[in-house]
């Protein structure tokens, strides 16, 4: 949990509005760790938790899934658009979803927090609590981390998970497979569009953006059902379909008619003068799962068939080019 340590002069009584600078690194680390201990204390696979040079974990199965993500304030989240707890839930969900997208089960996470000295301690603690709660919802625990000062708030998360069967990669889609989706799709993008215009409703979409509800467990379910390729929709459905197509050396056609556009998205589309389908085809952040299956019969209940895999390359919509937004870029 610790790097860049200093002498710590014991427990500090902190004002409710104390900042990280006032708390000091060690005072804050101690409090952050306490946000995780409720779950750590009962996790028999954490042999050594936060506080030493490294955590020590017992891995029962032989294959470990590992993924890392960065989130930067102003780019991946805004403190005025979501509470600290919301940002914690989102940061955890994004990483837990990566393990879901391999067909695995998340077990342990580390978290690095870089922040200005002016950041309120309460924000950091609420963030940590939300993060730990999201992890706990899938039985995963926070086993360590790091804390440092920076000009902007940045969150670095690494998740470790396990696969009880072969992981499902992006590269296994074959011509003739069907494309299927599970989980809410486009809701978070609708919420983000609303927030971007300064509104706070439809509330259900704003909440979907603030606290995504990835279909945890559906990745493993897809793997057991024989999914040939699997990815989570972090950046946009068509963008992710493009990743599957490229990694698998196939073409993918998406059928917009397969999507029932929920009422709140219709309302946002009408209010913003936008085609609500663009939230579904271009939106990410819900962390839905997109998979290919060898045939219709193997698609599990709760998954919706939204397209097909053919020979060729690239992604089409109803056989043609889609000229709406398909995702977003970092540079």
- In whole angstroms, the minimum distance from the beta carbon of 253 to a copy of itself comes to 16
Site for a copy of itself in 67-126 (CB under 8 A): 67-72, 75-76, 94, 98-99, 101-102, 104, 108, 110-114, 117
CA distance 150 to 140: 28
Q: How many residues bind a copy of itself (CB under 8 A)?
A: 89
- In whole angstroms, the minimum distance from the beta carbon of 101 to a copy of itself comes to 4
State yes or no: 275 annotated in a binding site: no
DSSP β-ladder status, 251-254 and 314-317: parallel
- In whole angstroms, the minimum distance from the beta carbon of 228 to a copy of itself comes to 14
Please state at what angle helix 121-136 crosses helix 25-40, rounded to 10 degrees: 20
What are φ and ψ of residue 88, in 5° steps? -65, -45
State yes or no: 323 annotated in a binding site: no
Tokens of 281: 């085809």
Contact between 181 and 288 under an 8 Å Cβ cutoff? The reply is yes
- In whole angstroms, the minimum distance from the beta carbon of 328 to a copy of itself comes to 6
Region from 168-176, 182-190, 192-200, 208-216 binding a copy of itself, contact rule CB under 8 A: 168-176
Residue 37: closest CA among 174, 138, 136: 136
Nearest to a copy of itself of 46, 269 (CB atom): 46
According to CB under 8 A, which one of 38, 41, 48, 175 is a site residue for a copy of itself?
Answer: 48
Region from 83-91, 176-184, 196-204, 243-251 binding a copy of itself, contact rule CB under 8 A: 243-251
DSSP β-ladder status, 288-293 and 229-233: antiparallel
Q: 23: Cβ–Cβ under 8 A, 6 or more apart, which residues?
A: 12, 14, 31, 121
Please state at what angle helix 263-272 crosses helix 187-196, rounded to 10 degrees: 30
Nearest to a copy of itself of 82, 102 (CB atom): 102
Region from 151-159, 194-202, 204-212, 270-278 binding a copy of itself, contact rule CB under 8 A: 151-159
Q: Answer yes or no whether residue 56 interacts with a copy of itself by CB under 8 A.
A: yes
Region from 125-133, 143-151, 173-181, 296-304 binding a copy of itself, contact rule CB under 8 A: 143-151
Q: Answer yes or no whether residue 15 interacts with a copy of itself by CB under 8 A.
A: no
Site for a copy of itself in 276-315 (CB under 8 A): none
According to CB under 8 A, which one of 147, 189, 222, 252 is a site residue for a copy of itself?
Answer: 147
3-state secondary structure at position 176: coil
CA distance 78 to 99: 25
First to last CA, the chain: 31
Contact between 40 and 135 under an 8 Å Cβ cutoff? The reply is no
Site for a copy of itself in 190-229 (CB under 8 A): none
CA distance 272 to 74: 23
- In whole angstroms, the minimum distance from the beta carbon of 136 to a copy of itself comes to 19
Residue 37: closest CA among 114, 125, 122: 125
Q: Answer yes or no whether residue 234 interacts with a copy of itself by CB under 8 A.
A: yes
User: Angle CA(88)–CA(89)–CA(91) in degrees, nearest 5?
Assistant: 65
State yes or no: 53 annotated in a binding site: yes
Q: Which residues does the annotation place in the binding site?
A: 53, 67-69, 76, 98, 145-146, 170, 232, 234-235, 285, 328
Q: Which residues does the annotation place in the binding site for Mg(2+)?
A: 53, 67-69, 98, 146, 232, 235
Q: Which residues does the annotation place in the binding site for ATP?
A: 145-146, 170, 234
């Amino acid at each position: 949990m610790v790097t860049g340590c200093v002498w710590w002069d014991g427990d500090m009584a902190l004002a409710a509005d104390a900042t990280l600078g006032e708390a000091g690194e060690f005072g804050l680390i101690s409090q952050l760790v306490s946000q995780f201990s409720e779950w750590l204390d009962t996790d028999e696979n954490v042999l050594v938790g936060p506080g030493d040079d490294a955590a020590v974990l017992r891995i029962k199965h032989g294959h470990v899934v590992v993924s890392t993500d960065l989130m930067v304030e102003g780019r991946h989240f805004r403190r005025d658009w979501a509470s600290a707890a919301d940002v914690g839930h989102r940061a955890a969900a994004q990483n837990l979803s990566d393990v879901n997208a391999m067909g695995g089960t998340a077990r342990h996470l580390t978290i690095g927090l870089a922040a200005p000295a002016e950041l309120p301690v309460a924000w950091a603690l609420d963030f940590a609590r939300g993060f730990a709660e999201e992890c706990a919802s899938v039985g995963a625990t926070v086993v360590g981390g790091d804390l440092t000062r920076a000009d902007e708030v940045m969150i670095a998360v690494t998740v470790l998970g396990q696969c009880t069967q072969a992981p499902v990669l992006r590269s296994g889609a074959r011509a003739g497979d069907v494309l299927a989706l599970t989980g809410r799709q486009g809701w978070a993008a609708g919420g983000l569009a609303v927030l971007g215009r300064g509104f706070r409703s439809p509330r259900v979409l704003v909440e979907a953006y603030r606290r995504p509800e990835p279909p945890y467990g559906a990745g493993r379910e897809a793997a057991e059902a024989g999914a040939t390729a699997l990815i989570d929709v972090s950046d946009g459905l068509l963008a992710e379909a493009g990743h599957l197509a490229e990694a698998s050396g196939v073409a993918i056609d998406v059928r917009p008619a397969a999507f029932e556009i929920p009422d709140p998205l219709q309302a946002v589309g009408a209010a913003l003068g936008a085609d609500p389908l663009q939230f579904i085809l271009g939106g990410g952040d819900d962390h839905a799962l997109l998979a290919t299956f060898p045939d219709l019969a193997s698609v599990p209940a709760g998954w919706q068939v939204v397209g097909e895999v053919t020979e060729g390359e690239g992604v089409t919509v109803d056989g043609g080019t889609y000229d709406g937004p398909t995702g977003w870029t970092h540079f």
